Structure 1
Amino acid sequence: MKYGWIDEYCLSKKAAEKDFKVEWDATRYLIGGKMFAMLGGDKEKNAIITLKCEPSFGQYLREQYAHITAGYYMNKEHWNSAYLDGDVPDAVLQQMIDMSYELVLGSLSKKKQKEIIEGNILVESKG
């Protein structure tokens, strides 16, 4: 994969977690239980990453880069997919990941956002 840094970059985000969704054959990156990035493939098994963007910025990116399309299997207004064998510069992909993380973080409850930002993620004890 051309963008071998993606996994480490996504996991470097505060409180980010990842899982593998077998039925989607995709790795998901989550914040507060909500997905902000997904590594998977299109129907031809071409590797893609799907990220949430502000609609106007997503439209701009799709106009600028042939390898960025409306979100594959996702809401086409808010999600965009970038082909990982394409020509999207690393800095643009990092900007997309950052935006997606911030948008999803901002959609969480104020309490959850505060826990994540302050690093006070509560883990339930089994006892």
Structure 2
Amino acid sequence: MAYEWLDAYCLSKKGAEKDFKEEWNATRYMLRGKMFAMLGGDKEGRPIVTVKLEPLHGEVLRDRYKDIIPGYYMNKVHWNSLYLEGEVPDGVLEEMLDESYGLLLASLSKKAQKEILEG
């Protein structure tokens, strides 16, 4: 699998936690119980990571890279999946993970954000 750094990168985010959802056969990266990334597979078992992005940014990335598709089994407007066997540059995936984490962090209360960022 490409992107061997993905697990460590997700867990390096302040407050990030990981669990394994057996019924989905997927590893979830979460912040305060809310998911910002999910590592799993499509119906053929091809490995994918799914992240939340601003809708317009997700559309731009899907147009630019054939290995980025609307979120697999997720809301197709906000979630995007990236095939881990594809050819999307590491920096693009890092930006996607950063954006997803940032969107989730921003959705939390100011108090929760402060606790996470200062904790």
Aligned to 1:18: 18
CA RMSD of aligned residues (A): 0.6
Q: 1:1-127, aligned counterparts within 5 Å?
A: 1-119=1-119
SS in 1 for 2:117: helix
Runs of 4+ in 1 over 3 A off after TM superposition: none
| CA contact 1:48–1:81 (8 Å) conserved in 2 | yes
**TM-score when scaled to structure 1?**
0.92
Gaps of 5+ in 1: 120-127
| CA contact 1:27–1:40 (8 Å) conserved in 2 | yes
Counterparts of 1:24 and 1:111, CA distance in 2: 32
Q: Which protein has the larger Cα radius of gyration, Structure 1 or Structure 2?
A: 1
| CA contact 1:32–1:105 (8 Å) conserved in 2 | no
> What letter corresponds to residue 103 of structure 1 in structure 2?
L
Counterparts of 2:102 and 2:25, CA distance in 1: 25
**TM-score when scaled to structure 2?**
0.98
Gaps of 5+ in 2: none
Aligned to 1:124: none
Aligned length: 119
